[in-house]
Structures are given as structure tokens and as C-alpha cells.
Amino acid sequence: MAAISRDDVAHLAKLARVEMTPDELDHMATELEDILGAVKRVQEVATAEIAPTSHPLAMTNIFREDVVRPSLTNEEALSGAPAKAEDRFKVPQILGEE
């Protein structure tokens, strides 16, 4: 694997319009080299025998069953509304439309 040079980091910083000091360029070159090394190790582990997955553990539905239960009537729901019209909450117009 080719090493990330200080010049490479300076070029990337210029493309990203990020100002970096010489010390920051040196430090970032070392950091990027470590990151690329870690990615290389992961690529070595991934083989054709291992199927790709989106999650390491099996996903199961954790939602409760949908059960019909008693709820508020329209009148009860609207009883505390500051304004109502045609069995609905009435809210201020915001889009200037009818």
C-alpha cells in the first residue's frame, strides 16, 4: 500500500478548501495512513464465503400486535379544542389558500 504523503494531504486540504499548518499536515498524513491500514485489514477478512449482511444479528419484528381498543369519540377529542369546524380541529390558515 502506498503511503499517504504530506503532499497528498496538502492536495486534499486544498481541494476541500481547508487551511492546515505544516504540523497538521504531518499529523493528518499519519492518521490517514492508519485509517487506510485498518480498511485494508477489513478487506482481507471479507471473503466470498461470507454473505453480505446489513446487520450482524437477525432482525425480528419487535412491535406489539395491532389490537382495537376503545378510544375517544370525536366529541371527546374536540372538547378541549379552542376552535373546531365540521367535527375537526380548526387551525389558522398558513398558506394563503382556500
pLDDT tens, the chain, 98 aa long? 468 899 999 999 999 999 999 999 999 999 999 999 998 888 887 677 777 777 878 778 778 888 999 999 999 999 999 999 998 999 988 887 66
What are the phi and psi torsion angles at 12 (to 5°)?
A: -60, -40
What is the pLDDT, as a whole number, of residue 95? 83
What is the pLDDT, as a whole number, of residue 46? 65
What is the pLDDT, as a whole number, of residue 96? 73
What are the phi and psi torsion angles at 17 (to 5°)?
A: 55, 50
Task: Enter the CATH code of domain 6-45.
Answer: 1.10.20
CA distance 51 to 40: 19
What is the pLDDT, as a whole number, of residue 23? 95
What is the pLDDT, as a whole number, of residue 57? 81
What are the residues facing 84 on neighbouring strands?
Answer: 89
82: left (phi over 0), alpha (psi -120 to 50) or beta: alpha
CA distance 92 to 82: 11
